Structure 1
Amino acid sequence: MRDVRDVDGYRLRVGNDRGRDVTNEAAQMVWQLVMAEDGEIAWDMDDGSRMVLRAEKQECSTGSPDVENERTAQRIAESEQNNAQLLRERDSAQAALSDMYRAVTGQSPEWNNDSDYTDAIAEVEVACTLWRAVSDDPVKFRRLLAELENFVSTDAAADVISERLRQLTVEGRTAEKDDHYSNLELRNAAVCYICPSLAESHWPWADKYWKPTSARRNQEKAGALILAEMERLDRQKHNGILPQ
């Protein structure tokens, strides 16, 4: 016969070979035996016979496998939906930052992957601050940019001027900051963009400011940095300071 009991989260099945009822004491003995693994226990009876008890344990289930599988599938589906929603919100936030940047500067932002977005908010804040310093009127601000670009006659020159304006309005590379550089920093930075292989040994600033892209774009940055250096030297000359 078999005796089935639920104990401590396990289902204990106890059977014997004598067809007799299994006492609580006998079941407890077997339970102690099989706590580590399934097994059996035997002893001699008063009438000379031998009693053998065999037992096995199983974890008690609170629900059928089908119900548990359904719950698991539901949790996975909810997790996937939440992840998709987070990605949509991230993409919307990135698009909003790009739109703000473009509205202020008239240019598309340089960040083009997820990691670059760590500095995107700071760049937009700098651009907005400089924008307000020039004019509170966005139409007037963009007209000023267009007028400056109209002073040049070729696409190449226009691109260099545009990059110089970006450095001023977005990166905050103002004349006041440039005047703190030595004679070599701006020129070395320009050289690195012309010949990127020299950046490891000649880049004058922190690595996070080194942002090479295409050859054409690198040349635009180099040209703008050369302009910045020429402007710095002109200011020194105007103030009676001889170049070192």
Structure 2
Amino acid sequence: MKCSNGLYFTDRESLAREINNITCYYDLSAELIADAIFNNKEITTRLSQTEIDVIEEYQRQIAEELLTHECDKGQLVSAAISHATLAAKWKDKDPDCYRKCRAPMSWPWSPERWKPTNPRRDMIKGIALLLAEVERQDRLNGQGVSA
């Protein structure tokens, strides 16, 4: 498979690594994209709506919230815990009250960045932040795309 810059990919893993280097597409789908392109076959794995929502949220966080792969150690986990804790503990069913909740002490960023939406959405945000943390740690440890 020839790349636009003249490189040839001899296997799907090297193509997946190259896809991962494209900032706007750095996510779990790189391996699936590489598999589909390199092997020229249909992707047989179907993602659940929740998995799709997590991937879309992860991409949104990078694009809109300016989440970088160089976030300080612990910030992503703290933010994820903040979202998940609010979502898990929420008892009041009033959505307006939920959206007005203040940022918890565990929230690592400015209060202006705290934007609770609803319990499901905030759980998705938390999972996407944990995904970002795992990928950050993998990069620090020199791990590439898993086989």
| Moved >3 Å (runs of 4+) | none
Shift of residue 209, structure 1, vs aligned partner: 0.5
| Percent identity of paired positions between Structure 1 and Structure 2 | 34
Question: Given the alignment of the two structures, is residue 190 of structure 1 paired with residue 113 of structure 2, yes or no?
Answer: no
* Per-residue Cα deviation, 1:165-191 (whole angstroms, up to 9, x for no partner): 11112222132xxx2412x21101001
Q: Work out which of the residue numbers 106, 127, 147 in structure 2 matches 1:202.
A: 106
1:230 is matched with 134
- Asked whether the equivalents of residues 103 and 111 of structure 2 are also in contact (C-alpha less than 8 Å), the reply is no
Residues matched between the structures, number: 91
Whichever residue aligns with residue 62 of structure 2, its letter is L
- Greater Rg over alpha carbons, structure: 1
1:181 is matched with 72
Shift of residue 152, structure 1, vs aligned partner: 5.5
Distance in 2, matches of 1:180 and 1:156, equals: 25
Aligned with 2:72: secondary structure?
coil
Q: Where do 5+ consecutive residues of structure 2 fail to align?
A: 1-22, 25-29, 35-42, 90-101
Going from structure 1 to structure 2, the CA distance change for 1:231 and 1:152 (only over 3 Å counts) comes to farther
Distance in 2, matches of 1:232 and 1:226, equals: 10
1:156 is matched with 50
2:65 is matched with 171
Q: State the TM-score, normalizing by the size of structure 1.
A: 0.33
Aligned pairs for 1:24-39 within 5 A: none
Going from structure 1 to structure 2, the CA distance change for 1:207 and 1:191 (only over 3 Å counts) comes to same
Q: Where do 5+ consecutive residues of structure 1 fail to align?
A: 1-132, 135-143, 240-244
- Asked whether the equivalents of residues 152 and 158 of structure 1 are also in contact (C-alpha less than 8 Å), the reply is no
Q: State the TM-score, normalizing by the size of structure 2.
A: 0.54
Shift of residue 160, structure 1, vs aligned partner: 0.2
Distance in 2, matches of 1:180 and 1:171, equals: 12
* Per-residue Cα deviation, 1:41-71 (whole angstroms, up to 9, x for no partner): xxxxxxxxxxxxxxxxxxxxxxxxxxxxxxx
Distance in 1, matches of 2:54 and 2:138, equals: 19
Aligned with 1:238: secondary structure?
coil
Whichever residue aligns with residue 110 of structure 2, its letter is A
* Per-residue Cα deviation, 1:109-152 (whole angstroms, up to 9, x for no partner): xxxxxxxxxxxxxxxxxxxxxxxx86xxxxxxxxx9xx69x876
Aligned with 1:187: secondary structure?
helix
Aligned pairs for 1:136-155 within 5 A: 153-155=47-49
Task: Point out the structure with the larger strand share.
Answer: 1
Question: Given the alignment of the two structures, is residue 214 of structure 1 paired with residue 118 of structure 2, yes or no?
Answer: yes
Whichever residue aligns with residue 194 of structure 1, its letter is A
